[in-house]
Structure 1
Amino acid sequence: MRVAGFGCRPGAPIEALRDALARTGMQELSALATIPVRETELTALARALDLPLHLSEVAGITTPTRSERIQAMHGTGSIAEAAALSACGPGARIIVTRVTSTCGRATAAIAERKETP
């Protein structure tokens, strides 16, 4: 299972989200994820990609990268990484740390969990 997690500014356009996702280099995904207050921004992308959108609480999730501003506001170092990890579930790991869209309005990260037979 591979999940793309996203963080973004309020009102970030779908083009910024697509750009951030493209910068991860991942094409095969199982789902998208973000925090509940960013559902509006991510819904159009999830529909366009025909993928489910998971809304995740991210406080307390340890991430490979860390923004002091995001840590203070949301209790985690990266919304994109934490949302991806949360949506993947136990045993998930980040395989692409957060990347930022060219315009700076969106971030994306990829988490993966190996399926057990």
Structure 2
Amino acid sequence: MRIAGIGCREGAPLAALTAALEAAEAVAGRAVAIATIAARAPEARALAEARRLPLRIVPVADVATPTQSPRILALHGTGSVAEAAALAAAGPGARILARRVASACGRATAAIAITEQSEDQP
């Protein structure tokens, strides 16, 4: 199952989140759920509702990610909120299919992780 992790700045517009998600899906295929941290739930909820996908709120501190942002590490305890949220929501054994990609405006990021869990179990 493919889970899209979303990271963004507070108040990021839906268009930015959509653009980041579409860029990640172009690399890894369509996501079956959206994941993010509690602080970004309002922004991610709008995306999940627009895409008619379930939203998972997950903790990301100490989740190892391929991408490392010193700013995000200091704020959230992980190198990438998008990658960490995707991995945390996908569960044990998950791996990144699409590393963090940013929207053109830089206000949103998305990454996609995959797990062996069946596609019908979001």
Check if 1:99 corresponds to 2:95.
no
Match of 1:43 among 17, 27, 45: 45
State TM-score, norm by structure 2: 0.92
CA distance in 1, matches of 2:88, 2:41: 15
Q: Secondary structure at the match of 1:12?
A: coil
Paired position in structure 2 for 1:34: 36
Paired position in structure 1 for 2:14: 14
Match of 2:91 among 89, 92, 113: 89
Cα shift readout 1:91-111 (whole Å, capped 9, x = no counterpart): 100010000000000000000
CA distance in 1, matches of 2:79, 2:21: 19
Which runs of 5 or more residues in structure 1 are unaligned?
none
CA distance in 2, matches of 1:107, 1:9: 9
Cα shift readout 1:19-60 (whole Å, capped 9, x = no counterpart): 101111145221000000101001111011111000011000
Identity of aligned residues (%): 57
Check if 1:112 corresponds to 2:114.
yes
State TM-score, norm by structure 1: 0.95
CA distance in 1, matches of 2:60, 2:29: 24
Q: Secondary structure at the match of 1:76?
A: coil
Paired position in structure 2 for 1:56: 58
CA distance in 1, matches of 2:5, 2:117: 19
How far apart are residue 8 of structure 1 and its match?
Answer: 0.2
Amino acid at match of 1:77: G
Amino acid at match of 2:48: A
Runs of 4+ displaced beyond 4 Å: none
Paired position in structure 2 for 1:69: 71
Q: Secondary structure at the match of 1:28?
A: coil
CA distance in 1, matches of 2:85, 2:117: 19
User: How well do the aligned residues superpose, as a CA RMSD in angstroms?
Assistant: 1.1
